[in-house]
Structure 1
Amino acid sequence: MREGAAVLADVGGGGPRRSGTGTRPADGLGSLTIADFLALPLTGEGLPAVLAGADGLGRSIRWVHVLELADTEGLLQGGELILTTGIALPQERAEIRAYIDGLVAQRVAGLVIELGRRYAEVPPVMVRACERRGLPLVALRREVPFVRLTEAVHSALIDGQRELLQRTAAAHERFTALTLAEAPAEELVRAAAELAGGQVVFTDRLHRLLALDARDGSAELLLGRWRRRTRTLAPAVGAEADAESCSATAPVQARGRGWGRLTLFTAHPPGPAQLMVLERAAAALAIRLLIEGEDELVANARRSVLADIIAARHGSPEAVHARAEALGHPTRDRTYLPLVVLGAGADLTEPVRGALADTRLHALHGPFVADRWGVLLLLRDDQSDEHVDAFARGLHARCADLGLPPVTIAAGGAVTDFPGVRPAFGEAADVVLAARAGGPHSKPRSCHRIQDIRLRGLLYTLRDDPRLQAFAERTLGPLLLRDARDGGGLVRTLAAYLGLRGNKSLAAQELGISRPTLYERLARIQRLLQLDLDDPEAATSLHAAIMLIETRAAGPSEDPVFAS
């Protein structure tokens, strides 16, 4: 053999691409850098000194090669750390420069020279040549057996590869389980951040933010790093690390085309294990994309921001603004108007989106519980109630065009900060349920507001109060007992009469009975209750009690915010 003492087997190999320079990867698995080599206790025994190429200490070592020859052509494959005593190196300056140029041309990681056998100190021409070509040059000022150095590096690489395989298996198992469970994109991104030990951002090809996990850090700062990184990103075919920005990216591809990108940010240059996690997560997201489709992923991201605002999980307002704007929905300097749409469990994505486009309004929206849809309108100063009503009318029309069941729409109070959104949604929920529970003579409206529901709405929101329940039972008790005993329909008769403001002809017509029959029933009601129906206060009390009885049929009150 033309080579010297010991040669290690190639345990590194190819793998994901890396760019830039840096220090030891955060995970250190399956990869050893020149900086790591210098930090080995055994290397320290040799009193190492970096003479040139310090910017390249973050280069990965593919293997360690002991080489005591000046002619290296055809002996190297790239990524080697060359160990030499210099005993066979040339003396002439031009030949020394040519030797260094040859190493660089073969993409070696660095050069380590042990002083004593050939050189008392490394020739200055060699130092200058390495510095000019950016090749790390290290001098060992005390003798250390090369065989021990190669064994130490070999063990470190093997141990790293073993742990990398274990981490790969764990990541594969985790993402397979999440995929089979049809976990949403947010959960897949959360798993990627946990397994990679960093912060993760998932965007589509238009750079719209679909999910992120800042771990214990600031989402606002994470999005700032992401915006700076997107300016320098180029199309990639696989996971790629950038040591300078301590980040890595992996494309999310489905059906042969790039659909989005997963970006990892770490405290140190990402290592092979982190790139592997990123690729596994990207593959799981691609499967999620095939199941849900593009539009559904974007809709879920929009709903996630809305849910975080309602549940006060948003952290700082700036973080919410950044997330919403990355989705294409400006939330800065806007008035927030919550709407609740009560339907029959239909998917309202298309009609809501169409109505928003028709009125040129921005909104965060999505389903909450089965029969309700939340819409948070983001109104500019020049947009008023007229725009809101136009949106509501458009939503009704589009639902009708699509053959969807009729919906009831209600608005809460307008607010100017995120903490006010939750109670405003609660108000909208009360209004929409009260409007849906309205009597047969309630005035139809495209969008209901709290001033529209009046007494019936107030009683609806307070229907669980035991004092009001006692009032209703006390006021209508005799009629309830008589109806329960013989099914005479006296409460229904009284409700029709009072609902039509005492018009006996219309009441008889609605009930489907003759006017004499109505007169007889009203007389019986007055005897049982011992009051005069022409007394305004008595009529008001009876009407309120009937409204309470009707609202109780809707069941107990629910959480007005409908946590999704």
Structure 2
Amino acid sequence: MPLTLAGLLAHQDLGLKLRTGSADVVVRWAHVSDLVDPTPYLDRDSLLLTTGLSLGRTSRRWPEYVDRLVRAGVPAVGFGVGLRHAEVPQALLTEAARCGLSVAEVPQATPFSAVVRRVADGLMTEERAEQTAAMEGYRGLVRAALTPPPHRSVVTRLAGQLDAWVLLLSREGHLLAGAPENARRHAERVRLEVARARSWHAAAFDHGGTRVTLLPVGQGARPAGVLAVGRAAPLRGHERGVVDVAVDLLSLGVAQAAELMDSERRERATVLSMLMSGRVAAAEEAAEALGIPLPEPPVRIAALTTSPARRVDLLEALEDERSLQIVSALVAGDAQGRVVVVLPAVEGDAGVVQTVLSRTSGSLGVISEPADLNGLADVWPKIAALADTLPASATGRLLATKDVAHEGLLAHVSPAKAEGWAYATLAPLESEDARRIDLLQTVRTYLAHNGNTEAASAALSIHRRTLTYRLGRAETLLGRRFSDPGLRAELWMAFTVRDR
């Protein structure tokens, strides 16, 4: 704890009395001066001890005097009474209260040297306390480095010691470790700052009221990663030493940690591939050998897609989701760039995936109905195909198969392409000859009445034979017959696109 004016007031043998201001101001040194302007000889955070010898009790120069002290960074004045002034001048107290300067009365019986000695003793005590705290911090980090996985243990320990959030990222920007649990939400901003700096040197930036310190982890021109420490209060001297020790410890293993993470992801992807291809027994044997827990059936499988730039973010978010870890969900990437989750079919299962999905912009996905592990090989191709064709309107959502159907076919087609196709399909019915007998409206009305010629002719207010004649002309122009259900479906879809 830094030495404060309150610490000096607590020493009853000094007999100091607070006359105005806060007792919580920090004191870094004590200086004795009766000069009208002592500021050239003062360091910031110094306690100025004076008897006011150069200024009278009602001097008009007190405001100027106080203003100079405040601008010089003096937090407090110890005013000695009994020599020049029988009591602390009211003019001094008034100006000090206005400017936020603390004033303590020093009795005549207390020599200034005694106050200076107490300040020096307090600073030595503070220094010893910081040294002790630093040594305890060093030992704690070393013990953490011996606890597997060491990089996560060191990061967790460092965050606890500093009461800060801490992130460890690989050179490629992969999140290797973070503490506390909500620290990962700062990962994207850290990546942006590292990319903006375009170098691997120590740096700092402000982020939401927090001062973030970036330190390269590893040696050479391209270190293995970066450590980010975020805290509202600036790091003190001994705390910076603790961070330096953490960087040294992490430098020994961050490259291995990145390799380990990549290896774990490849292993999970291998197990997933076995399940998707129907080799369930082999997948279970491989999972047991690799120490990968598999969810208890029945299970559901979710296929999620996002932009290539956000794929790692989505994968990391799902890997770090505690609810998925508890139920032993299998999270892995596949060869087509999707992120796949196999999780037990329990209440709220889709909600967990949906929450993670909504936090990663531009992501969307589809989730299957419950199935056993042996049924995943049949379910997966359908789910993968749906995930690859989800419309942009589904961004941020995790859809079930029934939800995909409710989106409708046109939601999966580019509007420009759909309009071009509809124009080309209906073009034969919009020729000059076709317009004279209004073939376009005739065919539309015929289709709207499900091919019922009596109902269609009545709706058009024409004779049934006239309708038959027009439909024959339309078949000739289209080169296909209305008895073909495919033609009827295509024409109706073309009309629907044109109406949109």
Give the TM-score normalised by the residue count of structure 2. 0.46
TM-score by length of 1: 0.42
Q: Which has the higher helix share?
A: 2
Higher relative contact order (CA 8 A, sep 6+): 1
